Amino acid sequence: MSTALLFPGQGTPGRAAPVSTTDTQVALLVAGVTAARALIDEHGLRVDAVAGHSAGVFGAAVVAGVLDLPAALRAVRVRGAAMQRACAGDAWAMAAVEGLGRAAVQRLVDATDGPLWIANVNAADQIVVAGTRAALDALRGRAPAAGARAVTDLGVAVASHGPLQAGTARAVARALAGEAHGEQRRAYFANTTGRRLFDAPGAVLEDLARSVQQPVRWHDIVRLMPELGITTTVQVPPGHALAALAAREHPQLTDLAIDDIGIPATLHRLEREE
């Protein structure tokens, strides 16, 4: 059995988020690392790889051994504050388009006036778009005619993973440049490329900085996992959306979420699979 831990981000579909993106990202980091350490250090779970979605990359980097938790917390606070400055005025939002592929969503984006871009490719038919609320409302009005099942607001007051966050990417890069990195112990799946990084802490740090400005290639990450020997994924809190995406893409994988069954039941399930 080869296990990958999945770390959710602020804009993961199925989760409402408060207005303060900084507080949310800090909470996600602490919750994810705490749960991962309980599984690994207290219960002896062997973890071969980590993957974070959006802000989840920082928890993944800590568990991979690239950053320690205090350094990750400092970088996340810089990231959250810079994102809020970039999105001042509460005019921004993100929404998940269900039932259309990336090319069809891109056509909707191109036909919409106002700042709007593809932010996350979560699945073949789940694409997250980000931009102004006015632009998202316009896209929402045209989406059913294009074949979309739904356009679901993600409950965030920022628009990430696009050109608006270029300054944030630079700020995070500067913050990380002052931090010492550790020896990478586990494979890390990069948001910006969808590829696996191992024994490449510098490339991991680059992904942490650049990912806020570029689309999250989550579908590519999930598609690649079985090819690299991953047989099991476990989503750390909060939620279960990432585990559900993995299960939908690869029914043969064992896909679990701690929030659904708790740590003891998760470990029991993994022992049975092994």
Q: For 57-119, what is the HEC assignment?
A: HHHHHHHHCCCCHHHHHHHHHHHHHHHHHHCCCCCEEEEEEECCCHHHHHHHHHCCCCCEEEE
Residues 3 and 233 sit within 8 Å (Cβ to Cβ)? yes
> Letter for the amino acid at 239?
G
Residues 32 and 3 sit within 8 Å (Cβ to Cβ)? no
DSSP state of 41: I
Identify the weakest region by mean pLDDT among 8-12, 75-79, 112-116.
Answer: 8-12
pLDDT at 62: 98
Alpha-carbon span 226 to 39, nearest angstrom? 22
φ/ψ of 93, rounded to 5, equals -165, 175
Q: pLDDT tens digits, residue range 14-46? A: 544 555 789 999 999 999 999 999 999 999 999
Q: pLDDT tens digits, residue range 110-130? A: 999 989 999 999 999 999 999
Q: pLDDT tens digits, residue range 137-196? A: 999 999 999 999 999 999 888 999 999 999 999 999 999 998 988 999 999 999 999 999
Q: Does residue 208 carry a pLDDT above 70?
A: yes
Instruction: State the chain's mean pLDDT as an integer.
Output: 94
pLDDT at 12: 63
DSSP state of 49: E
- Identify the CA nearest to 47 among candidates 266, 220, 215, 244: 266
pLDDT at 207: 98
Helices 166-177 and 201-210: crossing angle, nearest 10°? 150
pLDDT at 46: 94
Q: Is residue 11 very low, low, confident or very high in pLDDT (cuts 50, 70, 90)? A: low
Q: Which residues pair with 51 in a beta bridge?
A: 6, 189
Q: Find the length of the chain.
A: 274
Q: pLDDT tens digits, residue range 213-224? A: 999 999 999 999
Radius of gyration of the chain from its Cα atoms, rounded to whole angstroms: 18
Please indicate whether residue 184 or residue 11 has the higher confidence score (pLDDT): 184
pLDDT at 268: 87
Locate tokens 């929402």: which residue? 140
Q: Is residue 13 very low, low, confident or very high in pLDDT (cuts 50, 70, 90)? A: low
Q: Is the dihedral of CA 62, 215, 213, 9 positive or negative?
A: negative
Mean pLDDT across 254-269: 92
Buried b (16+ CB within 10 A) or exposed e, 97-129: bbbbeeebbeebbeebeebbbbbbbbbebbbbb
Q: Does residue 257 carry a pLDDT above 80?
A: yes
Q: What CA dihedral angle connects 159, 160, 163 and 169, to 10 degrees?
A: 140
193-202 long-range contacts (CB < 8 A, ≥24 apart) are 193/217, 193/220, 194/218, 194/219, 194/220, 194/221, 194/223, 194/224, 195/220, 195/224, 196/49, 196/224, 196/228, 201/66
106, two tokens: 């891109």
Q: Does residue 266 carry a pLDDT above 60?
A: yes
233, two tokens: 């994924």
Structure pTM?
Answer: 0.95
- Domains parsed from the chain with CATH numbers: 3-86+163-273 (3.40.366.10), 92-153 (3.30.70.250)
Q: Is residue 272 very low, low, confident or very high in pLDDT (cuts 50, 70, 90)? A: confident
